[in-house]
Structures are given as C-alpha cells and as structure tokens.
Structure 1
C-alpha cells in the first residue's frame, strides 16, 4: 500500500487549521516544559546558582501581577551580589529565520526588569532557545534588548517582534 507522505505529515502538524485548539495548547505546554528542562540541565552543568520558578500555578505572585509583568522560568545569580539574570526558556514560537515574541509579552518582561531595577537589583533578561532533538546541548541565546529592538511584524492580527537567529552556543 502506497502512503501519501504529505497527508501523513499533515496529521502531525499541529499548526494545521484542523488541529483542535486544545491539542495546540497541550503541545505548547509540553514544549515549554521540555525547554525548561533542557535549560535547567544547562544551568546544572555550569554550576549556576539559580531557582526555577513554578509554572504550573495559574495564579501569579501578587507583586508580579500588580506591575502587569510575566513570571520568568528561572532567576540566576552571578558573582556580583546585586546582579540577577532572569531567564525564560522558549522551545517554540520560531519561524525559519527568526525567533518571534508577541509585543505585549515583551512589554510585560520590560516591566519586570524595571521593577527589579527599582528595588536595587542589576537585572538582565535572557531568553534561551534550546535546540533539542539531536542537539540537546546546543541553544540560541537572545536578550530582552534584542527583542525590544527587533523588527515588528503582524501575524494573524497580533503584533510580534522578530529577531534573526544568531550564533549557536554549546553547553
């Protein structure tokens, strides 16, 4: 029996309009957890002092909600006591040449950095995009500034900022 490869691949494509919103949401959650797990493995290998922020709880901490911010995946500490690195892991939301983040999401991250700065920290915000699959020890790294200054694009009537993929880092 001959199998039509296109229709077989189409069954796997969750971005297809026939895929249920529920399945897409499940996929995004699982992809997010996988990205966080890979990022945590990098931090562990480097001996980073950090804590992973619980993402399962739907309720945001009061201070995060009060400033209209987002909850990061990790907060890491450097050798300088007042410096912290806020880390978000993203295993999805890419296109072929660039990484995309919704403009509204970027504004929320910016509010978090402003608040951390106001309370005396020197905060940095980085996004780690694990490659995963056959290259689990490789990742892309971008900063909030990269996205804030990224090219604005409109997709399905939503504003995004896109940033070209840069160099690949190795753990």
Structure 2
C-alpha cells in the first residue's frame, strides 16, 4: 500500500555515501554490507547520523543499478575507502510512503510513477528510497515504511 502523493521542498543536508554499480540481481548482495561499511566509517569519525538511511539511484534503475547508499550526517565526513562526503541538495520532490516488505517495492514504484503521471508532474531521472522503518526496527514487514521520492524536473 502507498500513501497519497505529496510535494516536498528539501533542505540541503550533509550525507556520507558509498557509490555502487551492480547488475539488478546483485543489489541484495551489496546493500547490507555496504550499509554496514558506511555506518562503521561514520561512527569511526564520531559524526552523528541525523536521520534514516536512504539510497539515491543516479538514474532510473534498469539492468544495472547505479546508486549510492547514503546516511544523513550532522557534519561532513572525511573520505575513507569507498565512503565519500556529499550533500543532498535543496530541491522539490514528489513522494509517497510505501507500507510493507521490500519485495513489494517494485509494485509500489509502479503505482507511484502512475500517480505522478496522473497529476502531470514531470520528474528528473533518478530516484530516492528512504528506509524510515525496516528490519532493524521491526521484525514485522507489515510495519516497514519506505519513502519513495523523485525530483520534480525544472520547467
């Protein structure tokens, strides 16, 4: 199930990220280890995480996923190994929240894209998934919440 479409203006936010390119079938193999590596690097620098982790898909997913595993942080991180400092920019996004396990994300994205088209919004290539509530918080996939976002394209 997804919530109604909403439009949000984001504020700039420091992030720490790990860029990854993998075939679609391998995303589950790299996500967990990448997130653990990112969290460890941020913790080693004594920098506070200030929100839920998210992924930024640089372009809409196809056969290869070109994405970044991201953590919002209180201050810039120093680059170490694969971890890089960056900033989530101020932008206007359309978003919804999906309720359920990760296996339903594909269908949720389909619904979300249809909602975007029905409202006439034009969006930029790429997308964001913010994992607001997941297995680290609840064992019940029905309680999980993933925020789906796309940037509104400049006119």
Q: TM-score normalised to the size of structure 2?
A: 0.29
Work out which structure has the larger RCO, using CA pairs closer than 8 Å and 6 or more positions apart in sequence: 2
Q: TM-score normalised to the size of structure 1?
A: 0.27
The structure number with the bigger radius of gyration is 1
Q: Which has the higher helix share?
A: 1
